[in-house]
């Protein structure tokens, strides 16, 4: 047991060092640094607000719609970037992996930590806006919002982690995910507002995209509205955690195969 804890401590320490390395590199090589996590969601929120009368004339508007889009885009971007980071992790860190006994779990964790750090300013802005304009009504809602947001980021990272062996060896998989991104955004309700009285069958279909239930549940806490999905967010959270536990074990066996086929 002691060895297991010691190993977990080492994995955590290494993953944190890798996270700091990534963040330090970002800060040193970018003038805008910490503004970048906010620029994408803020800029596109303004754009969607401007285009709303044309794209979706009915439904909520003003602050509610802005918050809806801002939270959706923030979580979408981190979900998608987390997924891609994990899919490319072995190729990107090949040099390091071939020189040190880097546990794949540490590699996964560092990718997730980086996304979680980028999540902080977005969550902060969303919470401040929601609290200021009165839609956030309790600490418990804020807690659920933050937890579900982390679940979204974790879900994207885990999916990328599971796909990692296949995307490393079959580059077409990465391109396929890229080409499906718009479909994922639309069916995930990232900037589309789903009506409250949706058909059960439609909801079940939409629940197959993990983004939909998870983002919807997170967002509903800030907008004080009933979430569309009842059980789907918790099922997806459970699948995420179980997949992570299994994949960490499998990735240790598979990593040498990936490094071998990548060559160098």
Q: Do 220 and 227 touch, CB atoms closer than 8 A?
A: yes
- In the list 98, 132, 137, 202, the residue contacting another protein (rule: CB under 8 A) is 98
Task: Provide CB contacts within 8 A for 112, sequence distance 6+.
Answer: 82, 153, 154, 157
Helices and strands (DSSP H and E) totals, the chain: 11, 0
Min. distance of Cβ 92 from another protein in angstroms? 12
Please say which residue, 106 or 136, places its beta carbon nearer to another protein: 106
Min. distance of Cβ 106 from another protein in angstroms? 8
Please say which residue, 106 or 159, places its beta carbon nearer to another protein: 106
Cα separation of 211 and 79, whole Å? 8
* Residue 36 engages another protein in binding (rule: CB under 8 A): no
Per-residue contact flags (x/-) with another protein for residues 224 to 263, judged by CB under 8 A: --------------------------x--xx-xxxxxx--
Please say which residue, 77 or 86, places its beta carbon nearer to another protein: 86
Per-residue contact flags (x/-) with another protein for residues 183 to 222, judged by CB under 8 A: ----------------------------------------
Cα separation of 8 and 222, whole Å? 35
Report the chain's terminal Cα–Cα distance, integer Å. Answer: 37
Q: Do 67 and 135 touch, CB atoms closer than 8 A?
A: yes
* Residue 172 engages another protein in binding (rule: CB under 8 A): no
Task: Provide CB contacts within 8 A for 21, sequence distance 6+.
Answer: none
Cα separation of 45 and 66, whole Å? 6
Stretch that binds another protein, among 25-33, 47-55, 123-131, 207-215 (CB under 8 A): 25-33
Min. distance of Cβ 50 from another protein in angstroms? 38
Total site size for another protein, rule CB under 8 A: 31
Min. distance of Cβ 120 from another protein in angstroms? 22
Q: Do 154 and 245 touch, CB atoms closer than 8 A?
A: no
Stretch that binds another protein, among 33-41, 48-56, 101-109, 144-152 (CB under 8 A): 101-109
* Residue 170 engages another protein in binding (rule: CB under 8 A): yes
């Amino acid at each position: 047991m002691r060895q297991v804890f010691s190993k977990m401590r080492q994995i955590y320490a290494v993953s944190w060092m890798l996270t700091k390395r990534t963040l330090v590199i970002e800060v040193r090589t970018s003038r805008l640094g910490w503004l970048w996590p906010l620029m994408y969601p803020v800029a596109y929120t303004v754009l969607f607000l401007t285009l709303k009368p044309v794209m979706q004339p009915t439904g909520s508007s003003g602050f509610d719609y802005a918050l809806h889009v801002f939270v959706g885009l923030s979580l979408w971007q981190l979900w998608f970037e987390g997924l891609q980071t994990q899919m490319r992790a072995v190729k990107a860190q090949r040099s390091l992996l071939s020189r040190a006994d880097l546990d794949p779990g540490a590699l996964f964790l560092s990718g997730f930590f980086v996304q979680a750090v980028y999540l902080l300013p977005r969550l902060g802005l969303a919470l401040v806006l929601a609290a200021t304009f009165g839609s956030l009504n309790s600490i418990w809602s804020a807690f659920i919002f933050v937890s579900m947001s982390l679940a979204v980021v974790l879900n994207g990272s885990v999916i990328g982690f599971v796909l990692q062996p296949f995307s490393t060896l079959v580059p077409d998989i990465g391109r396929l995910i890229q080409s499906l991104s718009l479909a994922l955004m639309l069916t995930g309700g990232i900037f589309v507002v789903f009506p409250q009285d949706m058909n059960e069958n439609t909801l079940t279909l939409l629940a197959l995209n993990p983004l939909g239930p998870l983002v919807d549940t997170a967002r509903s806490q800030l907008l004080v509205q009933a979430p569309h999905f009842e059980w789907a967010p918790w099922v997806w959270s459970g699948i995420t955690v179980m997949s992570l536990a299994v994949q960490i074990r499998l990735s240790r066996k598979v990593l040498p195969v990936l490094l071998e086929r990548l060559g160098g």
